[in-house]
Amino acid sequence: MDTIEYGFGQHLMLDGYGCDREKLMDLNGIYDFLSRYPDEINMTKIMPPYVFKYSGKVPEDWGISGFVLIAESHISIHTFPEKLYLSLDIFSCKAFDSDAAIEHIKKIFDIKKVEIKLLDRGHEFPKVIRKVHHFLRNERANMTV
């Protein structure tokens, strides 16, 4: 019998403090980062990045936000130049080197301090559906609506 593997993928959440203000303000730079970064971590970009400037009700809360959809999920970023802060997520069903990604992002944005959360998502998600189809059919047959 085949071994059944479970788990959807990694979700890296990075909070960066003491970032380079100019880089956090650079809409084109953030667009370029989101455009090229999927290739750098061997992911598949499926659309151009969407990046925009946000101006909130509180003046110092303005910043740049953007995301890029990848076949494996997404990469997103939110910057707050007045606070020298960014939040960045990489969520992927394909494994990637999170330590290398963290170091690379720290260099790109000149981050002085980081908070990192790395989650394994979808613990019960079957990686190969044909290996569990008989379980799913039995489970669905016994469901009541």
Which residue numbers are catalytic? 73, 78, 93
Alpha helices in 4-145 (DSSP H): 21-25, 27-40, 98-108, 133-141
Residue 107 phi/psi, 5-degree rounding, is -70, -45
DSSP symbol at 4? P
Report d(CA 131, CA 38) in Å as an integer: 30
Q: Name the token pair of 104.
A: 């690379």
Q: Which residue has the tokens 């047959």?
A: 141
Which two structure tokens, joined as six digits, stand for 143? 């469901």
CA R_g for the chain: 19
